[in-house]
Every structure is written in structure tokens, then in C-alpha cells.
Chain A
Amino acid sequence: MKVELQNLTKIFPSRNKKSGEEVIAVNNFTFTIPDGKLIGLLGPSGCGKSTTLYMISGLQKPSGGKIFFGDDDVTELAAENRGVGLVFQNYALYPHMTVKQNILFPLQNLKGADKLSKDEMLDRAYNAAKLVQIDELMDRKPSELSGGQQQRVAIARALVKMPKVLLLDEPLSNLDARLRLQTREEIRRIQKETGITTIFVTHDQEEAMSISDMIVVMKLGVVQQIGKPQEVYDDPTNLFVAKFLGTPPINVFEGEVKGEKLYIGDAAVLDVAGVDDQPVTVGIRPEGFVLDPDGPLTCNLNSVEVMGRDVSVVSTHAASVNPTVRSIIDADNQVATGATVRYSLKPHKVFLFSKADESRIYFGVKSDG
């Protein structure tokens, strides 16, 4: 089922009546989620991603805009009639019911033509349980399950009624690191097997990038960028998106463009064709540095962290906005243990942003080899 959001807006009235300041949680969100895709809503806390999810679920009413499931306008439809499956951040499993009763619960609510016989219900509950691999835990209470197992039960409960859309609110935030890795692959697998359009909310960019077909990066209620994870990573539209995606995070420098050359400090580090002279903010991905004894960018070497596959070089630079500059280079490279380290830069890993509004300034790369 295709999900279409048109100018979706949510305004929360101010708590303080005197100041009358409203909070715009979601501002003019327009996006069409293609059928059968896994979409990650990504942003820091308070960016409106959960509010968007709850508006799609019907638990919150939009202040403006429209929501379509397929061709049906569901904006005014109550949550119970939308046919969505929702997995809550802390799962909200009914603690007094067994796993089986929890999964059966949505089925027992079906009325009229959708009403199922007892056997059909059990059948579907067991199928859903098998899908998330908890069919052996059916008679346990939620309190007797681990976090990961509870998560699976919550997903099974959301899937059992065969929802048109599956919504997951921070599905992995309550799991430990190892389980998180495993579960996110699991969510991907389940989504692929069922083909249900799935939207999930996360503040963890790695999580979103790793399993989503598309990611939506949000900030203060405004969508910053929508695209395939790799595209957004490789081609951020503004400084916020560039900073938000990637671990280790992007290195940010104060720089200046003079005569189509980018200066960081006094050194001209890169040719930037087609950019007017102006001060700029420079973002350089950690993997955008190349060790080069004659390289234009000279940093003071702090430490070298060996991580097996590759090496992380921590250094400082006067023009760096962050306290340290972190680069990641292949472990085959020998890092000189001098006082300074010199780099040349990979042009496609370097992004320029306007000082005024942090938007991206594109530059042409000279193709001289």
C-alpha cells in the first residue's frame, strides 16, 4: 500500500497561554512512500519524526494536510479503521496476557465480514509467531521474555492482522548493541517476506541507513532530505544532514573560497570550479583524507587508533570546528609518527556549505586525472 503525505502539519498549542507560542512539530511534510518499501524517519529527538508516525497511525490528528493510503484519504479516519500495525517503543505488550493472547488480541476485535473462527485465529497467530520466530514462547507472559523476544512479540501482534502499513516507533532503542544489530536485520527480513509498506522512526543514523530503502532526515519538524541512504550520505543537501549521517561524524572546517580554490587556513586544499569567492563551511568525510607527504592540508597529529580493518588518525587543526579531526585510512598505510600529518583530499568526499544558511554549495571537480 502506497502511503502519501500531503503538506502534513502538526501544531501543538502552547502550554503557556500568555506567551502563546505554538510548537510546530511537523511542518508541511509532503512525501509519497512507495508500496512495499522500508522507510526510515531519521532525526534528533524533537524533530517531529514520532509525531509524523503517530499521525500516520491515526493516534494523533494532523493540524493540516492530508494522508492517503493508496487512493483513499484517511486523514479523518480513526486509528482503529486505518488498518495499521503499530509497534511501540517499549512494545506495550499487555502484561497480563500470554504471548498467544497478545497476538490473538487484534484478531478477536475483528467484526462482521472479517470475523475469524477460533481455528483461523490460532492459525494466523502461529503463522505470525513463526515469522518472528517466537512460536515456542506462546504460553509465556511478557515479563518472562527478554527485550528482543518482547520486541518480536510486538511485531507479531502488529503483523497478525495483516496491516496495510506497519509502523515502528524506535524499534531498536530498548535493545542492547548486539541484539540491535541482529534485530534490525530481522526487521528487514520480515519486511521483505511480508512486503508490507513499513515506516520506522529512529534517531540512530546507522540503523536507518543499514536497513531502509529510503530515509527521510528531519530537523525541527522540517524535512531536510529524502533519498536512498547512500545517496543522502554521498550528497547531503545541507550541513545538518552531512553532520547527522555517518560514523565517525563528518569533519567540519572554517574555510574560504578564493579564485576557485578552497582555502583551509592558509593552504589551498582543493580546486573548486564555479564557486564565487566567499567564506564557507567545509565538511570532509573521515574517509575523504588521503595520506600524502606532499598533501596541502597539514594537521597536528594527536594519536593513531588501530581498528584492525583500518586506521583512525586523530589530529587537530586550527580551522576545525570540532575539537579533533578524525580521518579513516586503510590499515596498509604507514602513518608517520611525527608531530604533523599531511593529507590530500578526495574531492567527492568534500562538501561546501554556505555560511549564511548552511545550504550546500556545489562545485565542479576538475577532471585532470
Chain B
Amino acid sequence: MVESKHKWKAWLYLAPAIILLIVFTVWPIINTVRMAFLEGYNQTAVVGGATYSFGIGNFTKVLEYKGFLTCLGNTMLLCVLTVPLSTILALLIAVCLNAIKPLQRLLQTIFFLPYVTNSIAIGMVFAAMFNMVGTAFGGENELIITSGIINNIIEFFGGVPINWINSGSSYAANMVVMVVYIVWNALPFKILILLGGLQSINKQYYDAAKVDGTPGWRVFSRITVPLLSPMLAYVVITGFIGGFKEYSSIVGIFGEDMGPAGEPGKLNTMVGFIYDSLVTQQGRASAAALILFGIIFVVTMLNMYVSKKKTHY
């Protein structure tokens, strides 16, 4: 073989990537593990000469911390709500898109737009849409009351405006907004993958089904979904991984307080918790990051196990 002769050349070509990976990925991971197991580790104190003993105190502290359980609960709930919902919606949209000939390209582009738009910007638009009352605007005495478009629509149909995200809003209302936003944001990628999958299914299966007089729903459930199952599995697995890392969407709507005015942290997530701890409590942040990693790992394994049984490759 040629490779044995010029092994050093191969390493040379790989070197830039390997060096960057070591510096920015491998070492930080190792360092995270190290910091997680140093009791009450604090970076600034290290500079001052502090030393830390080895132990699992960071983990127990994280688990005992009440805010952490809120974050974990919020994250789990968002995952469980958004992943199935966005997957089913994406599947329906992809199937519909695949079924039409005219405007397919245009609609495909429109559905893909959220993917290339900044999620913070989208979050701010959503925040405006779900607004309850306006803000003080302009000069001292000028108070312009604006209702968000969603409440305008509700009022138009004779409903009572709902306090979605403002001060005093309910947890359920907050969650509805988050789920709508995250699902909408997650759709384009999923539609893209599923549409690609649909277009690669051999048309003859559908011809064969047609000749055999198969009703539409049966074609969908017995042919389309099974043949699309590898893509569905991929979309669900990456959806859960993304869902557990949910953070910027909440910042986009509620700001860095991670909750409606007056209730900071109400909608905080795992990643949010890690961020908050990062400034003064790197040990705790590292421990939380490892816990998050563990959860994602287990859930992904579970997903893979289920999909292996249900997926036809």
C-alpha cells in the first residue's frame, strides 16, 4: 500500500484540523471533566492560588439545587412536546409538498426561510406577536398600547386576550409560546430531510400500490412511513439532542432573565443553568454539563434502540 510509505505526510495534512480539535474540543472536554470533580472549583480563585480537593460535591450540589430541577423539568417538557409535534408536522408538510408540482420550489424555499434566520431575531418577532400590552414609548406622557397580533386575532374572533409572555402570565401560556416557536423553528430542517427522503423513494412502489387498489392512508402508513423511517429516526434523534440544548429560543422571547418580567428563571433550561453558573461556579457548571451529556447520551441510545427495531434501512 502507498499509505505506509508517506505516513508522516498524512499526519502533516491532518495536523491543522487535529491541533484545532485538540485545543478547542478535546482539551475543553477533559478540562470540563476535571473541573466537575474538583470541589467548588472557581476559575478566578485559582488565579488567586486556591486549590481544590477531588470529589463529587459539584454533582450533589447541582442535583440538590432547586433551580436545576426547574431547568431539567422545562427542558424535558419542551423536548417531549416539540420533538413529536414538529416531526409529525414536518412529515405532513413534506408529504404535501412532495405531492404538488406547481409552486413546489417556491413553497420549499418559504418553508426553509426560518432555518437561515437568526433565532434571536425570530424570538423577538414572536415576542412582539404574543405581546399582551404595549410598552411606554417615546416621551414621558406618551403611552401607546399595542396588543400583539395573536391577541388581535383572538379579539377579532371575539375571544379574550391571553397574557402569553408578559408579567403575571401563566406557565402554560409561556409553554404554548415556546412550543409554537421551537416547532416553527425546527420545521425547516426536518422538512428538508424528509422531503429529500420522500423524493428518493422509488415511484414504482406507489404505482404497484395503485394497481393493487391501495387506499391513500394505507399507502402512507404501510409504504411511505416505513420507507421514510431512516430519515424519521434521524430527525427524531437530532431533534431530541437539539431539544436538550434549547437555550437561545428562550432568550429570544423572554430575554436573558429566562422568564416573564418579575419571574426570572421560570423557563430556564439546562444550558441556561450551565450559563448562569459559568461566571462564578465553573465546577458546578461542569458538573451540570456532564449531567446534560449523560442525559442526552441515554436518550439517544434509547432512540437508537427503538429505531433499530422499527426502522427499515
Contacts and interface: CB of A to CB of B under 8 A. Distances in A.
Contact of A96 (B214, B215, B227): B227
22 contacts: A57-B211, A59-B210, A79-B207, A79-B210, A79-B211, A80-B211, A80-B212, A82-B211, A86-B208, A88-B207, A88-B208, A90-B204, A92-B204, A92-B205, A95-B227, A95-B312, A96-B226, A105-B212, A109-B213, A109-B218, A157-B212, A161-B212
Interface residues of B, number: 19
A212 to B, nearest CB: 22
A92 B213 CA distance: 15
B212 A96 contact: no
A106 interface: yes
Contact of A59 (B202, B207, B213): B207
Contacts of A59: 207, 210-211
Interface string B205-245: 10111111111001000110011010000000000000000
B214 A80 contact: yes
Contacts of A157: 208, 212
Nearest to A81: B213
Contacts of A92: 202, 204-205, 207-208
A94 interface: yes
A55 B210 CA distance: 14
Contacts of A106: 212-213
Interface string A93-107: 011110000000110
Chain A CB within 10 A, most for which of B202, B210, B211, B222: B211
B210 A80 contact: yes
A58 interface: yes
A85 B226 contact: no
B211 A85 contact: yes
Given A86-B207, A94-B208, A161-B212, 15 more contacts: A79-B211, A80-B211, A80-B213, A81-B213, A84-B211, A88-B207, A92-B208, A94-B223, A95-B227, A96-B227, A96-B229, A97-B222, A109-B212, A109-B215, A157-B212
A96 B312 contact: yes
10 nearest CB pairs, A to B: A80-B213, A96-B312, A106-B212, A92-B204, A96-B226, A92-B208, A86-B211, A109-B213, A79-B210, A109-B214
A94 B211 CA distance: 14
Contacts of B312: 95-96
B216 to A, nearest CB: 11
Interface of B: 202, 204-205, 207-215, 218, 222-223, 226-227, 229, 312
Interface of A: 57-59, 78-82, 84-86, 88, 90, 92, 94-97, 105-106, 108-110, 157, 161
A198 to B, nearest CB: 15
A59 B204 CA distance: 11
Contacts of A96: 226-227, 229, 312
Nearest to B229: A96
A79 B207 CA distance: 9
B167 to A, nearest CB: 53
Chain A CB within 10 A, most for which of B205, B209, B212, B213: B212
Chain B CB within 10 A, most for which of A81, A82, A94, A110: A94
Contact of B211 (A58, A90, A97, A110): A58
Chain A CB within 10 A, most for which of B202, B213, B214: B213
Nearest to B202: A92
Contacts of A161: 212
Nearest to A169: B204
Contacts of B226: 94, 96-97
Contacts of B210: 59, 78-80
A80 B229 CA distance: 26
A105 B211 CA distance: 11
A159 to B, nearest CB: 12
Contacts of A84: 211
Contacts of B208: 86, 88, 92, 94, 157
Nearest to A108: B218
Nearest to B312: A96
A58 B208 CA distance: 11
A320 B207 CA distance: 47
Contacts of A97: 222, 226
Contacts of A57: 211
B212 A88 contact: no
B288 to A, nearest CB: 41
A153 to B, nearest CB: 12
B207 A105 contact: no
A78 B213 CA distance: 9
A88 B218 contact: no
A293 B213 CA distance: 67
Given A95-B312, A96-B227, A88 B204 contact: yes
Contacts of B211: 57-59, 79-80, 82, 84-86
A92 B223 CA distance: 12
Contacts of B218: 108-109
Contacts of A78: 210
A105 B222 contact: yes
Contacts of A58: 211
A88 B203 CA distance: 11
A21 B263 CA distance: 71
B193 to A, nearest CB: 19
Nearest to B214: A109
A151 to B, nearest CB: 14
Given A105-B222, A109-B218, A94 B205 contact: yes
A347 to B, nearest CB: 49
Nearest to A80: B213
A82 B210 CA distance: 11
Contacts of B222: 94, 97, 105
A108 B312 CA distance: 21
Nearest to A57: B211
Nearest to A89: B204
B44 to A, nearest CB: 58
B40 to A, nearest CB: 54
Nearest to B206: A92
